[in-house]
Amino acid sequence: MRSVALALAIVLAGGQPATGMTDTWLARTLSAAVSTPDAMTSVRAFDAIARANGGNREAGRPGFERSREHVERVLTRAGYRVHTEPVPYEGFRVDAEELTAPGDVRVLMAQFVPSGVVTGRLDRAAGAGCAATDYPAGVAIAVVASGTCTSGDKATAARDAGARALLLYDVSPVPDTVIRRRATGSPLPVGFVSQRAAEALTPGPATLELRGHAVQDTTVTVFAETAGGRPDHVVMAGAHLDSGADGPGVNDNATSVAALLETAVRLAPHQRQVTNKVRFAFWGAEELVNLGSTHYVATRTPQQLAAIRLYLNWELIASPNYVRFVVDGDDSDHAGTGAPPGPAGSGTVEEVLSDGYRVQHLPFRTADQNDIRSDQEPFARAGVPVGGAFGGVRGIKTAEEAAVFGGTAGQPYDPCYHQPCDDLSNVHVGALGEAMRAMAWAVGRFAVNDDLRT
C-alpha cells in the first residue's frame, strides 16, 4: 500500500512529463518502489569492501572483485541471469612515491610517466610553467600550479629549462586536496602535491623518488538483462563499478551502482512485461578512461550496436555539495561552449531524464557533454543516443546553485573526489534517493516506449 500511495503522490506533486500516462505506468511504478534505505545497504557494503581491501575498489584489486561479487549476488537473488565479459586493460602500479624535503609532504606519482630518483634544487616556477623561461635556472625539481596548458606541456617546458622532475598542484578552495591523474606526453617523472604543501615548500635541496610500472591485466564488466522485451530494441543503463587507486570510491561511483542495482531489483517482477529489453551494465575499468564501455562497444557487431536504442549513464549522484545535473543531449542549452551534441535522439533522452525530476517537483540544471566524461562517450561515438545525470564533480558551486539546491557556494560539488575521504561520510543520502527515483523513472519509461522522436 505504501508503494501505491507514494506512486500517486509522485504523480500529483509533479509537473507534466513528456509522454502520456500509458507510456509511464512502469516509470511511475518503479520510481515509487525504489527504496533509499535498500540502496544505502549496498553503498555501505561497498564502503566496507574498500576498508577491508586496502582502501580502494580499483580494477585488478581485491576490492573490485568483492564489489563484483556483491553486484552479482544482488542481481541473481532478484531473478536475473547474470553474465560477465572480460575487459583487457593496461594499468599503472606505483612502486615508490616520496619527496624528501622540509616538512611532511604527501606526493602522488602521475600515471604512465617515466620513473626516476632526482636529487637537486627544488624551486617554484615564476609563471604558468608553459614555457621554459618560466622556470628558474638550476632547478632540478620544479613546482608549478596546474592549468593554462596541459601537464605534459608543463613537463616538456620544465625539461627544456633543465629540470629533471616536476611537481604539480591544483589551486583549490580545499587546499589539502591532492589528486592522482595522468600527465600525458610527459618526458619527466611527475608527481602531484596539495596546494598547501606546495606553498609551504621552500627553495633548496630535495630528493624526489617516483617509481612505477605499467601492468597488463583483465577485469570484467557485469551485465544483467530482462527476460522479456524486444531483443532488437535494447535500452541500456549503466554505471561504473571500479574506484580510483586512492580512495574507496563511494560517491564515485558506488552510489550510482547501488541506485542502479535497486532499480534493477524493482524492475525484476515486471521483466517479462516490458516492451523493450532492458540491459544493465556495471562497467569495469572506467577509471582507466572508460575502458570497459569502450571495449564493449568496440566488440559489438553492427547488428548488435543497431539493436541498442539508447544508453543511460549515472555518475557521482550523491555528491555532498550536489546539484541535480542532467546532460544536455542536444546541446540546446550550451551552444557555443565547444561541447558536441549527442547523436540524434539524445534530446529526447534528456527530456525523459528531466521528467524523472519534474515528477518529483525538483529543480535541476543541464550540463554540457564535456562536464562529465564517462561511459556514455563510446556509445555516443558509435552513434547511439545517450543521456546521463550526475551530482557534480570538481566544479565549484555558484551562489545561484546554492540558493536553489542548498549547500555551500564557492566549494567543490565533491570535495573528496578520487581521495581517501570518498567514503560513507561523503554521501548526501537525500540526493541519492532523488537521483535514484529519476533513474527509475527513465528506465521504466524507456522499457515501455523507446520512441526517440517524441
| Active site members | 286
Residues 400-405: contacts with CB under 8 Å, at least 24 apart: 401/323, 401/365, 404/323, 404/363, 405/322, 405/323, 405/324, 405/363
Which set of grid coordinates corresponds to residue 48?
Answer: 566496507
Given a contact cutoff of 8 angstroms between Cβ atoms, the answer to whether 390 and 251 are in contact is: no
Which set of grid coordinates corresponds to residue 432?
Answer: 541519492
Given a contact cutoff of 8 angstroms between Cβ atoms, the answer to whether 297 and 379 are in contact is: yes
| Distance separating alpha carbons of residues 149 and 311, to the nearest angstrom | 33
Counting Cα atoms < 13 Å in the Cβ hemisphere of 52 gives 12
* Closest CA relative to residue 168, chosen from 195, 148, 145, 200: 145
* Closest CA relative to residue 430, chosen from 326, 359, 360, 371: 360
- Helices (H) then strands (E): counts for the chain: 13, 13
| Distance separating alpha carbons of residues 69 and 261, to the nearest angstrom | 13
| Distance separating alpha carbons of residues 259 and 41, to the nearest angstrom | 10
Largest CA distance in the chain: 75
> 208 pairs with which residues across the strands?
99, 118
Counting Cα atoms < 13 Å in the Cβ hemisphere of 121 gives 11
| Distance separating alpha carbons of residues 145 and 194, to the nearest angstrom | 10
Q: Crossing angle of helices 36-52/62-78, nearest 10°?
A: 150
Taking phi over 0 as left and psi of -120 to 50 as alpha, with beta for the rest, 215 belongs to: beta
**Residue 254 DSSP one-character state:** I
Counting Cα atoms < 13 Å in the Cβ hemisphere of 269 gives 7
Which set of grid coordinates corresponds to residue 311?
Answer: 544508453
Given a contact cutoff of 8 angstroms between Cβ atoms, the answer to whether 279 and 307 are in contact is: no
Task: Give the C-alpha distances (Å, rounded to integers) separating 10 from 4, 14, 30, 38, 316.
Answer: 10, 6, 11, 19, 24
| Distance separating alpha carbons of residues 363 and 314, to the nearest angstrom | 18
Q: How far is CA 139 from the centre of its chain?
A: 37
